[in-house]
Amino acid sequence: MTHDNHDNSSAPKGASARRAVLFASVAAIGLAVAGAGLTNDGLSLPSWTTAAHAASVQTAPTGFADLVAKVKPAVISVRVKIDEPVAVSMRDNDGNNRMPEGMQKFFQQFGMPGMPSGPNGAPRKQIMLGEGSGFFISPDGYAVTNNHVVAHAENVQVTTDDGTTYKAKVIGTDPKTDLALIKVESNKTFPYVQFAEHEPRIGDWVVAVGNPFGLGGTVTAGIVSARGRDIGAGPYDDYIQIDAPINKGNSGGPAFNANGNVIGINTAIFSPSGGSVGIGFDIPAATAKMVVAQLKEHGFVNRAWLGVSIQPVTSDIADSLGLKTAEGAIVDQPQAGSPAAKAGIEAGDVITAVNGAPIKDARHLARKIGSMAPNTSIKLTLLRNGEVRTQDLVLGKMPNERQAKADTGSNGATNAMPHLGLTLAPAGDVAGAGGKGVAVVAVDPDGPAAASGFATGDVILDVGGHSVASNADVRKAIADAHEQGRHAVLMRVKTADATRFMALPLGKA
């Protein structure tokens, strides 16, 4: 994935066609919108529309001219100047500004140019100019754009729809969601737009406004293609996918529903060539409202902290635990001194709900907790050893060096084998394995263990919820799983990187 690129007047030319994702970045160009909503006055609603949806149903407009006339004055062009070392791993091929956390891997995958260097090979400083998009959210000049548009900017200027240019300052940024709040330095009252109160539905109309290729305010239209997209940009990915064309320079621009309210902020596109192919990604309005409120109040975002390392519940893990569906987040390990540890959350617990709301997967839990404020009291629903429990706890404040992390890897295997494909030895007998568990000293490359991700050097700590210290312990735990009719057995494994759960498919007893 890539964020769509902004136009840099002094940046190197010739973006690689191999890149698959473009940031809509460095300077956020936006349009401010006066008023907050169009109505469906005079338009009849379908007979099948329920009363609950009547207020939010969007009927097909004959055109978007009236909507655009209302919202376009609130969208602004954002121009930035950056004076900093050119770091290849943090810029796209056009020399655009630093990418949001987690997106660098896409550019590494699809190629990077050589890094300009100064004397003795040190990174050379270069003045970078960029343009992006943004939009006013209040009459006193507060505006929203992308973090990657204004990050590390020496100065920021915005140009409104009438061509007037103003100086602006960065109030706060949030790299984890790629959002930034800026404020125009003026006593003038500006037209503005509001965030939508309801989430869009797949198929709803959407109108995107921005500054593609530095051409100035441009409008495109399409529909909401999908919701809940995870593009690997960060731990709180929950993007809205739209097919309204979004190109370089659209970063930070708003996407409107048919009522003229902002449903999302344009932030990234998928493209093999750099241009729009009808796959764009927007930060949802609900996320933006929460982040912007904290940026305005604190200049940064205070997120709640549960303090657990988690992974998704795969179908094999679900089977090994006797779950009917592969939902929830399994706790690899509670972090020392965290709210989870203090509340007695244990490795192997499956978190299935927060305050009664079901948790779909590990990333859903990360987003749920990340959207809350520190010191919030919550009730977790857990599955432990086949029993459903509830646990009250108070969330902490996320330490600055930490962020919620959900492991989205899958360790399932589909072919059941009559043997594990492992050679084991007590950990105490293997140098460097520690004193607990059973060490993996060899892995059959054709066995189910290898297919499930086991590697030489791993240490198996638990099998089926029971601590193991010998091969006999492992065999007994597996036999017990067979007797219970399990098709897989859950193991807690210490790897070179961390401790996690791995489900190993079982053959016939």
Determine whether 148 is an active site residue: yes
Q: Which residues are CB-neighbours of 433 under 8 A, at least 6 positions away?
A: 427, 439, 457, 459
SS3 label, residue 466: strand
Q: 275-311: string of b/e by CB count within 10 Å (b at 16+)?
A: ebeebbbbbbbbbbbbbbebbeeeeebebbbbbbbbb
Q: Which of 7, 94, 161, 178 is catalytic?
A: 178
Q: Which of 25, 133, 251, 338 is catalytic?
A: 251
What is residue 150's DSSP assignment? H
Long-range contacts of 85-90, Cβ-Cβ distance < 8 Å, separation of 24 or more: 85/122, 85/123, 85/124, 85/125, 85/126, 86/115, 86/116, 86/123, 86/124, 86/125, 86/126, 86/128, 87/115, 87/123, 88/112, 88/113, 88/114, 88/115
In angstroms, what CA-CA distances link 417 with 314, 426, 463, 487?
Answer: 19, 24, 18, 11
Alpha-helical regions (H) of 348-463 = 362-370, 448-451
**Closest alpha carbon to 130 in 78, 86, 182:** 78
Match 């200049």 to its residue by tokens.
Answer: 299
Angstrom distance (rounded) from CA 352 to CA 367 = 14
Determine whether 407 is an active site residue: no
Match 């390990």 to its residue by tokens.
Answer: 333
Q: Which of 3, 6, 148, 364 is catalytic?
A: 148
Instruction: Count CB atoms within 10 A of the CB of residue 467.
Output: 14
Helix (H) or strand (E) holding 462: strand 459-463
SS3 label, residue 319: helix
Angstrom distance (rounded) from CA 160 to CA 76 = 5
Q: Which positions are catalytic? A: 148, 178, 251
